Amino acid sequence: MPTSTLFIVPLSFPLILLPTGRITIPIRATVGEVLLQLIQESEAQPIVAAVPIPAVDSASLHEWGCAARVVRIVRPPKGVARDGQQPYLLTLHGLSRIHLPDAEGAQDHFEDGIFERIVEYPQATIPPTPEAASTFKATAARLLDRLIQDSASDTKKEFYTKLAGMVDDVQIQRAPWLADLLISSLNAEYTDKLDFLSAFDVNDRLKRATEMFIKQTSISEVSKKIAQSIDESLSRQQKEFFLRQQRAAIDRELRSIQRSSPSQSRSSPSDPTSSTGSTSELDDDEQADAADMADIRAKIEAMAQDSEERKTAVREWRRLRRIPAGSVEHGVIRNYLEWLAAMPWPASVGTVEADRLLRALRDREFLLKARKQLDIDHYGLEKIKKRLIEYLAVVRLKELQAEKGARIAQEGHELHKTDDTPQLDANSGALVKLEKIDPTSIHPTPPRIRRKSTKGPILLFVGPPGTGKTSLGQSIARALDRPFQRISLGGVRDEAEIRGHRRTYVASSPGNIVQALRKAGRPDPVILLDEIDKIAHNNFHGDPAAALLEVLDPEQNHSFHDHYINVPVDLSQVLFICTSNTLETIAAPLLDRCEIVHLSGYTYNEKIHIARRFLIPKQLQANALTSDHLIIQDTALLHVATHYTREAGVRSLERAVGAIIRHKAVEWAEYCDSINADPDASIPATTALGKETATKIYNKSVEKHDLERILGIARWEEEEREERRGLVYGLVVTGMGEGDVMPVETSPVPEGSGKLKLTGSLGDVIKESADLALDWVKARAYDLYITKSRSQDPLKNPDSIDVHLHLPSGAVKKDGPSAGIAMVCAFVSLLTGACVSSDIAMTGEITLRGRVGPVGGIKEKVLGAHRARITKVIMPWGNRQDVEHDVPLEIRQQMKFVFVRTLEEVLEAAFGKRVIGQRRSDVLLESRL
């Protein structure tokens, strides 16, 4: 047997090199340097013996190894290898098997890394038999086939195909060589490979290779089977899920059939579902769940193709299917999908449905019916109703125009699908265009042409509480036959209340705009934004007012962004109506988008009518009585309006009426009990049913004198307005938008220095008005006979005093210029001693020249004065129009209005002709230039 002395390179566990194989291993620097030296010394590439160490803890080398050519040694970069720790890389190419006669004895040198040994080259004497070679080829081919089928990557597939080709072509003598090549290229167990290395006999080698191939094939078949069975079990679960759903749907159908024909179901005891007896809806968990999911799915499928909402819903639906049912994430996604599916997406409204939505508007009697509806719901408010009819007419025109536009676009789309080639008409012989629809261009669901947004004006009802702002909104919705939703914005501080929370928050939900839209169930409801003046502005919770701006802006609201829904929501078809008590706290940009409709309040007469026609019937019904049980006399109603409720609207009146009716309900019930009668019966007469057996009597008429017994002592007793020196009554509009009378009190403070003291929570403007008024009076003191010479100061002569001006209700902030003329009169009264009648009230702004300028809130102020039983109102000449247009005729007939241009005219109207002296000759004549 040939021998040779070779350097031994030990291969640490589990490395192995077979003939034909190639390996790269790290080696110590010392070993590397020895081998490099060897390369330099020898002419050809040196040969070494790569011998495996058979186990991790083995102290000896394996008996068999592989003679290998040194292909390459890589030295690490210089700086890195300074300490000699960094390994060199050695690449070897396996040539032939070698036998180590004294493998055991090598262990002394083992640690040094490299050493020389005598190795033997065993020679095979018998050539490979054809049988061994053909079995080898067959098993190799089978294994390679399997590997080609199973491998996922293309490069691997290519590699195995190449090997398979070699197996096909190999000759018998070369079969052992191919066995080496295949075993070193394929995955196999280390021990098997080690065993294979020792097989120097070629037939033995082929046999062992065959065994290894069979083993590998069965391993790969088994793993494939396992993978398949896992797949099958998964799809079985899915199958089970679908079957369960189907079963739930079938059960549901059967139950609904049974419910609709109970007699039939009772007569079929063989039916398994009927034998279950009474099923509670609480037992239906799984089925209800499946039904919900089916419902969501159907809604998603009904969404418009290519719409943003559909894409998002489909994506989330797929995510939902991947997530286990019990998980938190599952709940979150499902909740989101429920919201998404329940939203009325404008693009998803079908043509039939859209047609239904527009039915009310197409009605030729729409405006007539709308007017009727407004009259049914509200008394009076003529001007407002007229304005609303105009508004509804515009909404109708715009909607119908938008619908027509959409229809034309749809027809255009249809036409697009027709064949355009002119055809020969058989009868006339002329070229005509046949409207032939190309079947290939038909969509499964034709894209819906969206109605353009209508961008109608946004109404803003402004007025005191209880004047019917909310109920007018409801009437509009009824007239348009659309759902009505009310969103109360009072105290909304957090932007999230408008825009919703992001889905990442625990228990997040959409904002109230989206909630209202979902509740409405239609893309075009009437949404009433109540009390927009009470919404908070920029704070650390965001800016709700800014979010509202986006909602109301027709340019932006076709793609409103709600944080939760996270898909643009089209609000362009929603009719927004806002209400507010005052305009002062509404941001200018918000006001800019609205069309303001003022509701100022009702006269007593109107209130009595409203109570008779609306409030009493409503309260009677609410308290289970009828008009047979109760009559509230007009005098009593008026007394309630004047003495128990003093408000611009009718809300407190409604409450008081409710209290009266409830009181009478108790009386009626007690009476019925006492005579053993049915409380449901009506009583025929207005007088008491004074039966002898009855312990109580019942009087169905409510008179003025009954009120104290029912409602307690009146809150507003007869006004104790006084006629006093220095006291004058002005007119104001409160923060609630109500008009009222406000006393302007002045009094002299002795031992003063001619100063003005102001109290009563006054703002800057009203303080300036007071200064202006006093300065005017001081300047005119001589003309008004207050002082004896022009140079005298009325506050220092004859005595030196201060003047104190106070506006009562000190806790309420007051501001504005309209108390100017009342202050002038109060100062004149104080300094002259003349009094202004307590039946007179006044309002008007003054200038330093003594002119009287117009003021706002005339209707409210006049109504407030009327409520306070003022008989004469002094107001600026510039406000005549307002009185004529806004103040009801009955009030104009009951009160006297004096319109003034100058303060001299004010004094004459307030104190009476010539009560306040005027030194005529000295009156300043105004320039007429």
The answer to whether the bond into 798 is cis (omega within 30° of 0) is yes
Q: How far is the CB of 609 from ligand ATP (least distance, A)?
A: 8
Task: Classify residue 507 as exposed, middle or buried by CB count within 10 Å of its CB (0-12, 13-18, 19+).
Answer: exposed
Nearer to ligand ATP, 378 or 499 (CB): 378
Nearer to ligand ATP, 453 or 581 (CB): 581
User: How far is Cα 703 from Cα 700, in angstroms, rounded to an integer?
Assistant: 10
Q: How far is the CB of 382 from ligand ATP (least distance, A)?
A: 10
8 Å CB contact between 870 and 841: yes
Residue tagged active-site, from 307, 453, 818, 829: 818
Residue 464, marked binder: yes
Q: How far is the CB of 623 from ligand ATP (least distance, A)?
A: 15
Dump the DSSP string for 344-383. Answer: --GGG--HHHHHHHTHHHH-TTHHHHHHHHHHHH-SS-HH
Q: How far is the CB of 583 from ligand ATP (least distance, A)?
A: 13
For this structure, is 818 an active site residue?
yes
Residue 679, marked binder: no
Nearer to ligand ATP, 54 or 465 (CB): 465
Q: How far is the CB of 863 from ligand ATP (least distance, A)?
A: 14
Q: What residues have CB less than 8 Å from 768, skipping those under 6 apart?
A: 817
Nearer to ligand ATP, 6 or 526 (CB): 526
Q: What residues have CB less than 8 Å from 913, skipping those under 6 apart?
A: none
Lookup: tokens for 507: 């228990």
Q: What residues have CB less than 8 Å from 431, skipping those under 6 apart?
A: 422, 423, 424, 425
Angle between the N-to-C axes of helices 903-911 and 820-832, in degrees from 0 to 180, rounded to the nearest 10: 60
Q: Where are the alpha helices (DSSP H) in 126-153?
A: 130-150
Residue 139's nearest CA partner among 209, 56, 60, 225 is: 209
Angle between the N-to-C axes of helices 190-197 and 202-260, in degrees from 0 to 180, rounded to the nearest 10: 160
Lookup: tokens for 133: 């070679």
Q: How far is the CB of 581 from ligand ATP (least distance, A)?
A: 6
Rg (CA), the chain: 50
Residue 763, marked binder: no
Nearer to ligand ATP, 474 or 918 (CB): 474
Q: How far is the CB of 647 from ligand ATP (least distance, A)?
A: 10
Q: How far is the CB of 580 from ligand ATP (least distance, A)?
A: 8
Nearer to ligand ATP, 580 or 818 (CB): 580
Distances (CA, A) of 299 to 6, 344, 417: 80, 10, 28
8 Å CB contact between 812 and 761: yes
Backbone φ/ψ region at 807: left (φ over 0), alpha (ψ -120 to 50), beta? beta
Residue 456, marked binder: no
Q: How far is the CB of 888 from ligand ATP (least distance, A)?
A: 13
Task: Classify residue 133 as exposed, middle or buried by CB count within 10 Å of its CB (0-12, 13-18, 19+).
Answer: buried
Q: What's the distance, CA 674 to chain centroid?
A: 58
Residue tagged active-site, from 137, 193, 859, 861: 861
For this structure, is 861 an active site residue?
yes
Nearer to ligand ATP, 381 or 517 (CB): 381
Q: How far is the CB of 651 from ligand ATP (least distance, A)?
A: 5
What is the SS3 assignment for 232-281? HHHHHHHHHHHHHHHHHHHHHHHHHHHHHCHHHHHCCCCCCCHHHCCCCH
Residue 311, marked binder: no
Residue 465, marked binder: yes
Distances (CA, A) of 633 to 141, 286, 612, 659: 111, 61, 10, 15
Nearer to ligand ATP, 362 or 372 (CB): 372
Residue 469, marked binder: yes
Task: Classify residue 487 as exposed, middle or buried by CB count within 10 Å of its CB (0-12, 13-18, 19+).
Answer: buried
Residues at the contact surface with ligand ATP, assessed by CB under 6 A: 378-381, 465-471, 530, 579, 581, 610, 614, 649-651, 654
Nearer to ligand ATP, 448 or 469 (CB): 469
Nearer to ligand ATP, 113 or 483 (CB): 483
8 Å CB contact between 90 and 115: no
Residue 735, marked binder: no
Q: What residues have CB less than 8 Å from 175, skipping those under 6 apart?
A: 128, 132, 133, 136, 137, 202, 206
Token pair 């058979």 is found at 54
Q: How far is the CB of 533 from ligand ATP (least distance, A)?
A: 10
Distances (CA, A) of 441 to 417, 435, 445, 446: 6, 14, 11, 10
User: How far is Cα 828 from Cα 780, in angstroms, rounded to an integer?
Assistant: 10
Nearer to ligand ATP, 567 or 599 (CB): 599
Residue nearest to ligand ATP (CB): 468
Long-range contacts of 538-547 (CB under 8 A, 24+ apart): 539/493, 541/493, 541/494, 541/495, 541/496, 542/494, 542/495, 542/496, 542/499, 543/495, 544/489, 544/492, 544/493, 544/494, 544/495, 544/497, 544/498, 545/587, 545/590, 546/495, 547/495, 547/498, 547/499, 547/511
Annotated binding site: 463-470
Annotated binding site for ATP: 463-470
Active site residues: 818, 861
